[in-house]
Amino acid sequence: RPRVLSGIQPTAGSFHLGNYLGAVRQWVALQETHDAFYMVVDLHAITLPQDPDVLRANTRLAAAQLLAAGLDPDRCTLFVQSHVPEHAQLAWVMNCLTGFGEASRMTQFKDKSAKQGADRASVGLFTYPILQVADILLYQADEVPVGEDQRQHIELTRDLADRFNGRFGETFTMPKPYILKETAKIYDLQDPSIKMSKSASTPKGLINLLDEPKTTAKKVKSAVTDTDTVIRYDVVEKPGVSNLLTIFSTLTGTGIPELEERYAGKGYGALKTDLAEVMVEFVTPFKERTQQYLDDPETLDSVLAKGAEKARAVAAETLARAYDRVGFLPAK
């Protein structure tokens, strides 16, 4: 079985619709066909200012949401990144192989540090793409299911795998991005020129899966469209409407042409009302299942402990090989 690896940050508490459609939904499907490793990336979550108690609670909450979304600990390895110290260890080696200019070109860093103010952005934020390189290479992942915003980091991973293999001998598997075209980028409902994001969305444009379903419905109904009334998929002329069609289509399994036909001549109100209903039907049981997992923290923690053990077995082997190749003297 080919291997997949991916992660999600435990910042912000609730996952949003972009996380689900762009990434987590694919994770659930891939556990059936792949040897799948999925993690809550708490090391990444401290690249921006954070509160310890909130981080702890959100890490459990992220794991609960992943289970609620359909990850099955018998079919995949689900773990917390900081439980596997090899991530930080391999990241150091990768930091030393990355050019300063190369790291400076990462657009996610540029976006996030610009928002922080250059002086306040941490060095951790600067090197977080390189930690991500280590995350992926440690598991010898063949594919990495993510949203479009992560494509550049997977390119960097490929460059560094190639560089390490070339310099020290064949060590790492060359990973490929696994990005589904339709859902690669879900947009903010109030500003369809920016991606829906935990850290950068407008509150009204961000569909949190754990919001009250009423709130979700309201946000869908007040989504920004355009001054025209025609329901047509056209990302250039009609980014708002196209975003709604993508969401509708993916959540219901209805093709976009079929939706265009169904809503021909009906106007945006009808589309939004029906999509609001679809969303409510999706988030209501999701929220309930998440709460059930949270209500049983012992089971949740034991799932994560088993996951960490399985992950460490793989990560430790890769790290040992990489350390040896680099020339570190084995500890006897």
Select from 8-16, 82-90, 113-121, 324-332 the region that touches ligand ATP (CB under 6 A): 8-16
| 19 makes contact with ligand ATP (CB under 6 A) | yes
User: Which position has the token pair 């080696």?
Assistant: 93
Among residues 199 and 229, whose Cβ is nearest to ligand ATP?
199
> 61 CB contacts (<8 Å, ≥6 apart)?
10, 13, 14, 290, 294
84-119 burial code (b ≥16 CB/10 A, e <16) = bebbebbbebbbebbeeeebeebeebebbbeebeee
Q: How far apart are CA 328 and CA 311, in angstroms?
A: 23
| 199 makes contact with ligand ATP (CB under 6 A) | yes
- Identify the active-site residue in 110, 176, 198, 287: 198
The one-letter amino acid at 104:
S
Among residues 9 and 98, whose Cβ is nearest to ligand ATP?
9
Q: Which of 197, 225, 242, 318: binder of ligand ATP (CB under 6 A)? A: 197
| 191 makes contact with ligand ATP (CB under 6 A) | no
Please compute Rg for the chain using Cα positions.
21
The distance between the two most distant Cα atoms of the chain, rounded to a whole number of Å, is 75
Q: Does 198 carry a binding-site annotation?
A: yes
Active site residue 221: no
CB 17 within 8 Å of CB 188: no
Q: Does 19 carry a binding-site annotation?
A: yes
Closest CA to 152 of 132, 169, 137: 132
At 285, list the tokens.
């049981």
Show the site string, 124-163: x = touches ligand ATP by CB under 6 A, - = not.
Answer: ----------------------xx-xx-------------
Q: Does 195 carry a binding-site annotation?
A: yes
CB 2 within 8 Å of CB 142: yes
- Identify the active-site residue in 185, 195, 238, 287: 195
Active site residue 110: no
| 107 makes contact with ligand ATP (CB under 6 A) | no
Give the residue numbers marked as catalytic.
112, 195, 198
Please enumerate, by residue number, every residue annotated as part of a binding site. Answer: 9-11, 18-19, 135, 147-149, 186, 195-199
By the criterion CB under 6 A, which residues form the site for ligand ATP? 8-9, 11, 18-19, 22-23, 146-147, 149-150, 185-186, 195-200
Please enumerate, by residue number, every residue annotated as part of a binding site for ATP. Answer: 9-11, 18-19, 147-149, 186, 195-199
